[in-house]
Amino acid sequence: MTPGTDASTARAATRPVAVKPAAPRFEIDPWWPKPLPEGWIAGQLACVYVDHNDHVLIVNRGDITEEEKETCIRAPAVMIFDLEGHLIGSWGDWEVLPFTPHSCAVDRENNVWITANGDGMVQKYTYDGKLLLQIGTKGVFDTMDGAKKSKNLNAGRDRLNKPAGVACDPENGDVYFADGYGNRRVVVFDRNGNYLRQWGRQATPEEMEAGVGGAFAEVVHSVAISSAGLVYVGDRQGDRVQVFDKMGNFKRNIWVRTGTATLPDKRGTAWWTGFSPDREQKYLYVMNGRNEQVHVLDHASGAILSSFGRPGHQLGNFTHGHSLAVDRRGNIYVADTNWGRRVQKFSPAQ
């Protein structure tokens, strides 16, 4: 023992030092996607989604300006790209689609489900854009009198109220909706559009701070299903991702407390979630629209390991970063709404 060193100090010096696990790093791919066809211009790009064939679907709201209409062609509502960024498909009849498209998901039969937070209905299409099924009526909401601004019911079995995210169960084809901007619930329908179940309600300020499961701050914004069969719901203004089983039993909170000291957080942090492509889904990715960052979380503990992005208009910056998706190679795609109006691809750094 070194003179002047007691036994306890010597023992402490030999203990292993805890090492923070290394998080994956990402870098922008400036060449994705390839240019759109001549004259095409997109509006807000509300959602990006990667299907089981590693095709990248982008939902376009089509809200271009009068000046743009004079010189350009409004891009279709749904655009489909390959991993290299080539446009391989597009479709969407603006007269048939719900108002303000918000999200999409592809089911196990390769059908595309579309939500819209400006409407009370959702739709199911074939992969090439043929309408198969509709839940609800265009312009009719799950409210006391069906009007958009009336008191929400949070109970509709044949309509929704400004639905946001959507996820399809790969095991049985059931469809989960984050319902949404008007209601405060997760609602589940089968593949044929039949109502199955729901959970969720408006939280009180006390319940928000306590993290009560199934009580949502304001917008129920996103929904995703993990490989373990758990349902991850973005409680946006609650600054957390709530985790449930498929029957709606609450399992845990994953907090993203980088916003306000008290809740609800006006912009909120928990906008969208995605999983790393490994079997264990070691990492959970969260789009934090408040701080314009993507967080890399340790899935098991919920700890934020690293982040990338910042507010701005340059490559790698986000302007109203809204949703994200992950392909089987581990690339992350982020869609900007409002003034951002683009999708960016981030690849794992070598």
Q: Which of 149, 275, 143 is nearest to 222 (CA)?
A: 275
Q: Over the chain (350 residues), what is each successive 10-residue block's mean pLDDT?
A: 48 50 89 96 97 98 90 96 98 97 98 98 98 98 97 98 98 97 98 98 97 98 98 98 98 96 96 97 98 98 97 97 98 96 95
Phi/psi for 98 (5° steps) reads -70, 160
Give which of 264, 262, 261, 255 is closest to 288, Cα–Cα: 255
Q: Say what the pLDDT of residue 65 is.
A: 87
User: In this predicted structure, what is the pLDDT of residue 2?
Assistant: 45
Q: Which CATH class is domain 22-348?
A: mainly beta
Q: How far apart are CA 235 and CA 268, in angstroms?
A: 8
- Predicted TM-score (pTM) of this structure: 0.93
Structure confidence at residue 66 (pLDDT): 84
Closest to 162 (Cα-Cα) out of 150, 172, 170, 173: 150
pLDDT at 68: 87
Q: Which of 124, 122, 96, 121 is nearest to 110 (CA)?
A: 124
CA distance 110 to 274: 20
Q: DSSP E strands: which ranges in 236-320?
A: 240-244, 250-255, 272-275, 283-288, 293-298, 304-308
H or E element that contains 205: helix 205-210
Residue type at position 302: G
pLDDT of residue 8: 47
Query: For residues 302 and 57, what is the distance between their CA atoms, to the nearest angstrom?
Result: 28
Distance from C-alpha of 168 to C-alpha of 224, rounded to nearest angstrom: 8
- Positive or negative CA dihedral for 246, 136, 99, 77? positive
pLDDT of residue 12: 47
